[in-house]
Structure 1
Amino acid sequence: MSVPGFQDVLQGPFATYLVVSQQIGGDVATHSALVERAFQAQLQYLILASQSKAPTQAEQIHLLQPTSQHISAIQDFREKNRTSPYFNHLSAISESIPALGWVTVSPAPSPYVKEMNDAGQFYTNRVLKDWKEKDKKHVDWVKAWVQTLSELQAYVKQYHTTGLVWAGKGAPMAGAGVPPPPPPGCPPPPPTLLGDIAGLDANNDRSALFAQINQGENITKNLKKVTADMQTHKNPTLRTGPAPFIPPQQTAVTASKFAPVTAPAPIDKQPVFTRDGKKWLIEYQKGNHNLLVENAEMNNVVYLFKCTDSTVVVKGKINSITLDSCKKTSLVFDSVVAAIEFINCQSVQMQVFGKVPTISVDKTDGCQMYLSPESMDVEVISSKSSEMNVLVPKPNGDYTEYPVPEQYKTTVTPSGLNTIVVESKG
């Protein structure tokens, strides 16, 4: 019943996800076609498992290649379309699609599926936040995808509780011929030390032992004397230890086999500063503190990607700003209509002179947020981040620094879970 159970998932919420994806269209529809191929590849793998015995590790890697390639294609599509208006949709799928890897997890694959479902929740929440008031189709899309992984988790828990179940030892691998005869048995082990001891005359052995012990002071007569030239504190040359072992000269093949492998040097890409319609693209900037975005309109967006040790100034009121995979980068701007987002960044900071309604910080270590008097009602949404500080202006022009909580305590109550902030003391 394992295969029909998986088909129920495909014909249920997953089919709804595909239909709604086509209704939304664009990158979401294209992405869903890749997702469908990945699920179909898993279906074929499960059919194989229901007809065959468990494969070897090498065979398993070969059989899982189609699923792995489809998952990579799904994630690559997201990376190539970071400026897409449906980027959050693509990210929600890309972060949670590794759930199909449950077939390699044991002894408890079901929690792994839930963990992957939770990994995409950050982006599904963004989809709901951005679209719930605009278009109900996107809400249905989120529900269908989350329900797909929830039912996949229930399916795994019911049919493959401790790991993927194969047909058994009696079934050969599908498509394989008659299995070869087993190899000849191993030679018998050598006699053990215990066997040799058992063959000794216990009485004679014991009497000889006690005779040695009962020598008294004579037992030390045969010990070798340590002379002055043998003492390390009187002879410093003895402290150097034995000479290091020098292996025989290696052949060219052996030397290359064991030679250390060095990682290839990263390729520096050309910096980008361009405007593509409503999008300002700033990418791969290094050590550039003169980046200025001006004459921008309210429906424009600014996207920074992999900028290092740089400063960007944005003049005027625009829709949104995103910093993705940036390091030691500063952002100064007037106002944004929607939000500013930090994703996969390190040691970044921002300063707003006007209004910013939302600041989103995701997978970022080190984020300083300088606010203005007009932005005191800002919402800061953080996830998987650390070293975040909000700096609030004072009347005298200085700032008061407030750390964003990173540590929480959750307790179980009759009504569910209760989570509170734990103050860090250190």
Structure 2
Amino acid sequence: MSVNGYQDIVQGPLQAYLELSKQIGGDVAAHAALVNSAFQAQLRYIQLATQRSKPSQNEEVSLLAPTSDQISSIQQFREKNRTSPYFNHLSAISESIPALGWVAVSPTPAPYVKEMNDAGQFYTNRVLKEWKEKDKRHAEWCRAWVQLLAELQAYVKQNHTTGLVWSGRGSGGAPPPPPGGMPPPPPALPEVDFSNMTVDDRSALFAEINQGEAITSSLKKVTSDMQTHKNPQLRQGPAPFKAAGKAPGKPLPAPGAGVMDKPPVFMRDGKKWLIEYQKGASNLVVENPDMNNVVYMFRCRDSAVTVKGKVNGVVLDSCTKCAVVFDNLVSGVEFVNCQSVQMQVLGKVPTISIDKTDGCQVYLSPESLDVEIVSSKSSEMNVLIPKGNGDYSEHPIPEQFKTVLSKPAGLVTTPVESKG
């Protein structure tokens, strides 16, 4: 099903994009040929995953080389043709083609594909603005590319929800043989001859049980001189059997916990600002970002980041006691697996997502009072709304819910307010 689903994408949405690229011609058609090669390379990689177990990290890099080389060629083509009249077309593809890197992303590859698709739409909007009055084929081309990545996201979500699935059979080579016929019958039970068992044998157990209280009459009484708690010298013998105690389970990692001895990272990688393993850094500043950029904080502690300018989104992943302040966001801010985090928006933010986070303070601006907040598996969440005099009013986000059955409407869920 995994291979068939991907082949449906190659034969459907991809072919529609290739056909429109061919109609436009020029650099767009040449660029599309490289895109086709990248999808074909990924199809071969997915076919390989159905034939073998997950490779080692070094081998995985080698197996991914054909796909990554094609992605690099696509992006280099854009850089070599900056004077092309179709530069926005080339940029739309180059910014979003890293979506094919989902095969190396876990545990949430589908949102990664969407993120890449959103990054490319900055340039598809430019194409629409430039060509909508000149040639409608360019608008169809934009829709075809966006739809292609949307289909890829749906495919990943359905077939590889937490990462690329490997078959777990063998170490590669030829595909497994097709299954043949019905499975072999289970081994026969050992033969037991019940004919030689007498009635007395069969009823012996029941006879014992039916004695009632008399069943204990044959037991030997334990006198006081036989009790070890009254006679310490009896404890010097061999220790009685003790059931093996249950081994203490490995504690689950706390959100934001993990290896912190890695060197801190603060760099821009394409459209993504990477802020990783920072500790005690309270004056981090992201300056002059582009509107399609994403600021990504990962495993930071006791740190604060200020984002100056408008960016696409901000993500805090596995951070502890961190804060972020930003001006405006195109999509939204997201907290995942965090502890004791804070955010403040000075301008506009459409959405706030809080997932598996304990302790989140959200400071809103007057322009962001229509924000949508989505929370799941989180606690200690508070939204602070400006009053107008420089102060804030605090409002907790419900953590408990009550569900009742209502015959006309089915299940009805309402938040439960804390009375403590």
* TM bucket, shorter chain: 0.5 to 0.7
Mark the runs of 5 or more structure 1 residues left unpaired by the alignment: 47-58, 99-115, 156-162, 171-181, 246-259, 412-416
Q: How far off is 1:5 after superposition? A: 9.7
The amino acid that maps onto 2:390 is G
Q: TM-score, normalised by structure 2?
A: 0.53
CA, structure 1 residues 148+393, in 2 after alignment: closer, same or farther (shift >3 Å)?
closer
Superposition RMSD in Å: 6.4
Q: Which whole-Å deviations, capped at 9, do the CAs of 1:60-89 have from their partners, x for residues lacking one? A: 5389x9999559977xx89xx9xx998984
* 1:371 maps to 2:364: yes
* 1:39 maps to 2:43: yes
CA, structure 1 residues 303+346, in 2 after alignment: closer, same or farther (shift >3 Å)?
same
SS in 2 for 1:139: helix
Q: How far off is 1:39 after superposition? A: 1.6
Counterparts of 1:38 and 1:394 in 2: how far apart (Å)? 53
Identify the residue that residue 231 of structure 1 maps to in structure 2: 227
Identify the residue that residue 331 of structure 1 maps to in structure 2: 324
The amino acid that maps onto 2:180 is K
Counterparts of 2:304 and 2:328 in 1: how far apart (Å)? 18
* 1:97-116 alignment, distance < 5 Å: none
Q: TM-score, normalised by structure 1?
A: 0.52
Out of 284, 290, 307, the position equivalent to 2:283 is 290
CA, structure 1 residues 244+206, in 2 after alignment: closer, same or farther (shift >3 Å)?
closer
The amino acid that maps onto 1:15 is Q
Q: Is the 8 A contact 1:313 1:332 kept in 2?
A: yes
Counterparts of 1:127 and 1:424 in 2: how far apart (Å)? 39
CA, structure 1 residues 198+368, in 2 after alignment: closer, same or farther (shift >3 Å)?
same
Q: Is the 8 A contact 2:334 2:352 kept in 1?
A: yes
Q: Which whole-Å deviations, capped at 9, do the CAs of 1:254-301 have from their partners, x for residues lacking one? A: xxxxxx9xx9x94723224467899865432112223345xx447476
Out of 133, 147, 151, the position equivalent to 1:143 is 147
Counterparts of 2:383 and 2:360 in 1: how far apart (Å)? 8
Q: How far off is 1:370 after superposition? A: 0.5
Identify the residue that residue 358 of structure 1 maps to in structure 2: 350
Counterparts of 1:238 and 1:42 in 2: how far apart (Å)? 68
* 1:171-186 alignment, distance < 5 Å: none
* Segment drifting more, 323-332 vs 356-365: 356-365
Q: How far off is 1:226 after superposition? A: 2.5
Counterparts of 1:423 and 1:141 in 2: how far apart (Å)? 41
* 1:242 maps to 2:239: yes
Q: How far off is 1:12 after superposition? A: 2.2
Out of 377, 381, 394, the position equivalent to 1:401 is 394
Mark the runs of 5 or more structure 2 residues left unpaired by the alignment: 22-26, 76-90, 129-140, 160-166, 168-175, 243-249
SS in 2 for 1:229: helix
CA, structure 1 residues 322+385, in 2 after alignment: closer, same or farther (shift >3 Å)?
farther
Counterparts of 2:122 and 2:412 in 1: how far apart (Å)? 27
Counterparts of 1:327 and 1:29 in 2: how far apart (Å)? 45
Q: Is the 8 A contact 2:351 2:371 kept in 1?
A: yes
Count of aligned positions: 334
Out of 278, 299, 303, the position equivalent to 2:295 is 303
Q: Is the 8 A contact 1:361 1:382 kept in 2?
A: yes
CA, structure 1 residues 289+421, in 2 after alignment: closer, same or farther (shift >3 Å)?
farther
Counterparts of 2:150 and 2:412 in 1: how far apart (Å)? 26
SS in 2 for 1:327: coil
Identify the residue that residue 252 of structure 1 maps to in structure 2: none
Out of 334, 337, 355, the position equivalent to 1:342 is 334
Counterparts of 1:139 and 1:234 in 2: how far apart (Å)? 87
Identity between Structure 1 and Structure 2 (%): 29
Identify the residue that residue 391 of structure 1 maps to in structure 2: 384
CA, structure 1 residues 242+135, in 2 after alignment: closer, same or farther (shift >3 Å)?
farther
Q: Which whole-Å deviations, capped at 9, do the CAs of 1:145-184 have from their partners, x for residues lacking one? A: 44467799999xxxxxxx9x974427xxxxxxxxxxx9xx
CA, structure 1 residues 270+91, in 2 after alignment: closer, same or farther (shift >3 Å)?
same
Q: How far off is 1:118 after superposition? A: 7.0
